Amino acid sequence: MLSRTSTKFFRKSLQIRYFSQLPLKVPIKLPNGLEYEQPTGLFINNKFVPSQQHKTFEVINPTTEEEICHVYEGREEDVDIAVNAADKAFSGDSWSRIDPFERGTALYRLAELIEKDKEVVASIESLDNGKAINSARGDVQLVINYLKSAAGFADKIDGRLINTGKTHFSYTKREPLGVCGQIIPWNFPLLMWAWKVAPALVTGNTVVLKTAESTPLSALYVSQFIPHAGVPPGVVNIVSGFGKIVGEAITAHPKVKKVAFTGSTATGKHIYQQAAASLKKVTLELGGKSPNIVFADADLTKAVQNIILGIYYNSGEVCCAGSRAYVEESVYDKFVEELKAAAENVKVGNPFDESTYQGAQTSQMQLDKILKYVNIGKGEGASLITGGERFGSKGYFVRPTIFGDVKENMRIVKEEIFGPVITITKFKTVDEVIDMANDSEYGLAAGIHTTNINNAIKVADRVKAGTVWINTYNDFHHNVPFGGFNASGLGREMGTEAIDNYTQVKAVRAAID
């Protein structure tokens, strides 16, 4: 029998895989006392099914480091079955060609079904991911809001009439792409599921989606509502599994016409290159190292709370986290003092404690990565103002961490840590802070804190970022597009811009006798 140390090593390196006759649903009792049936199979043709090889992998609770359950692991042959089901659903009359209003109605029903069960859904998210229950509830509400919002676009996806003179009748129309492959991350499992599935479905496409191997539970759970919402078989298919197998198979499949991916920039580049071989349409929402700028005229108390939200929300596992703070020199010392006090007041611990703000990191691997960067920062000569160590002896917890006295060429300033670690730099002029803010390969988001709205708009115009928050941070809305510049990705999530990712334009020009 493996020792506990050996077991943890294998879990960290590959998540132990078994051949199993696992039931397609298993009972789970959540830490808050709620009980539910967790689907464990692949979701294909509106049914949960075992994988072809009957291979499974374990899902770990990041709070306790113990196994939650096993789920079936998809392989290449499972992806092929799912893609064929999606292709059949798209080619028939049941989805892409029906009245668009019916698609919107089905998506709205799906939102309502999730809403009726939202406390269980949020609890699954906390259990699987480690995030604080209040953060999980916020995620689920965003999911519901976005599904309802996207449903409203269904019968409003129009082309245009083009005046080309009296000899021709010319117009355009938007058409769906076909089977869309979607690969989602582990930091916001259900929210990313919604951001991918909703625009694909409302535009008439069909989906084959891979969940993150460390957090598959919430997506599998809500998928059971899909047939009850009126979505036909084959329209949405979920294949749990590992990126190098399932992700590769989805990206390379000849019947997949578009790939959407959220995750690291390195993996995004690989997917982009692989998809290019068959000229698939690609959208990528990738990494970030976002600047959060505080001017001397800002309301410092509010700015501190926005910085806290920007870096410690969701345990810092946020692609757009405000991980680089730039503070005007005249208020730097006071700001650092207030931020240190606020960070040390952040409650870290059990995600199901209603007062917890920062839950667990999602995996041992992520915990190790964060602590490695803490050591790198110390080695580079940065001052550790607070935190920088593991919290508790069980679970993947890290104390909120602040580094000062940093230089712009330090790795902790340049590289994405993806955890509750922030660096603070002082600046004197607007030009100086703009140069530092833009000195990054990324360009996902930025924050500006000032009471001078003219200055805020001028700085927002000059910062190279897909989203700029002014006197707020991590402030998402279902109608506001989200996506990055540069190495932070291609395309946009949410808003009307997301619809563009899942449609193609056909021009029709008819000669008039």
pLDDT 10s digit of each residue in the chain, 513 long?
A: 333 333 343 344 445 556 668 999 999 999 999 999 999 999 999 999 999 999 999 999 999 999 999 999 999 999 999 999 999 999 977 799 999 999 999 999 999 999 999 999 999 999 999 999 999 999 999 999 999 999 999 999 999 999 999 999 999 999 999 999 999 999 999 999 999 999 999 999 999 999 999 999 999 999 999 999 999 999 999 999 999 999 999 999 999 999 999 999 999 999 999 999 999 999 999 999 999 999 999 999 999 999 999 999 999 999 999 999 999 999 999 999 999 999 999 999 999 999 999 999 999 999 999 999 999 999 999 999 999 999 999 999 999 999 999 999 999 999 999 999 999 999 999 999 999 999 999 999 999 999 999 999 999 999 999 999 999 999 999 999 999 999 999 999 999 999 999 999 999 999 998
Q: What is the CATH number of the domain that holds 355?
A: 3.40.309.10
Same domain, 393 and 425: yes
Same domain, 270 and 151: yes
Q: Which of 285, 317, 416, 493 is catalytic?
A: 285
Same domain, 109 and 215: yes
User: What's the total number of domains in the chain?
Assistant: 2
Q: Give a yes or no: residue 40 inside a domain.
A: no
Q: State CA 149 to chain mean position distance.
A: 18
Q: Give a yes or no: residue 36 inside a domain.
A: no
Q: Give a yes or no: residue 468 inside a domain.
A: yes
Q: Give a yes or no: residue 512 inside a domain.
A: no
Name the pairing type of β-strands 47-49 and 256-262: unpaired
Q: Give a yes or no: residue 39 inside a domain.
A: no
Taking phi first (over 0 means left), then psi (-120 to 50 degrees means alpha), and beta for anything else, what does residue 193 get? alpha
Same domain, 252 and 377: no
Same domain, 496 and 444: no
The residue with tokens 């919002």 is 149
SS (H, E, C) 249-301: HHHHCCCEEEEEEECCHHHHHHHHHHHHCCCCEEEEECCCCCEEEECCCCCHH
Q: Give a yes or no: residue 107 inside a domain.
A: yes
Q: Give a yes or no: residue 33 inside a domain.
A: no
Q: Is 120 helix (H, G, I), strand (E, B) or coil?
A: helix
Q: Contact 17/57 with Cβ under 8 angstroms?
A: yes
Same domain, 264 and 391: no
Q: What is the CATH number of the domain that holds 218?
A: 3.40.605.10
pLDDT for 20: 60
Same domain, 220 and 307: no
How far is 178 from 90, CA to CA, in rounded Å?
6
Same domain, 359 and 249: no
Q: Which residues contact 10 (CB under 8 A, 6 or more apart)?
A: 2, 16
Same domain, 427 and 302: yes
How far is 134 from 374, CA to CA, in rounded Å?
27
pLDDT for 6: 37
Same domain, 264 and 306: no
Q: Give a yes or no: residue 302 inside a domain.
A: yes
pLDDT for 2: 35
Q: How far from 201 is each of 39, 58, 100, 117, CA to CA, in Å?
A: 22, 30, 10, 22
Please give the backbone phi and psi of residue 94, each rounded to the nearest 5 degrees, phi first.
-85, -15
285 catalytic residue (yes or no): yes
Same domain, 498 and 399: no
Neighbours of 36 (CB within 10 A): 17
Same domain, 98 and 148: yes
In the chain, what is the greatest distance between 2 CA atoms, to the nearest angstrom? 84
How far is 448 from 451, CA to CA, in rounded Å?
10
How far is 394 from 237, CA to CA, in rounded Å?
36
pLDDT for 11: 44
Q: Whole-model pTM? A: 0.93
- Domain of 172 in residue numbering reads as 75-286+492-503
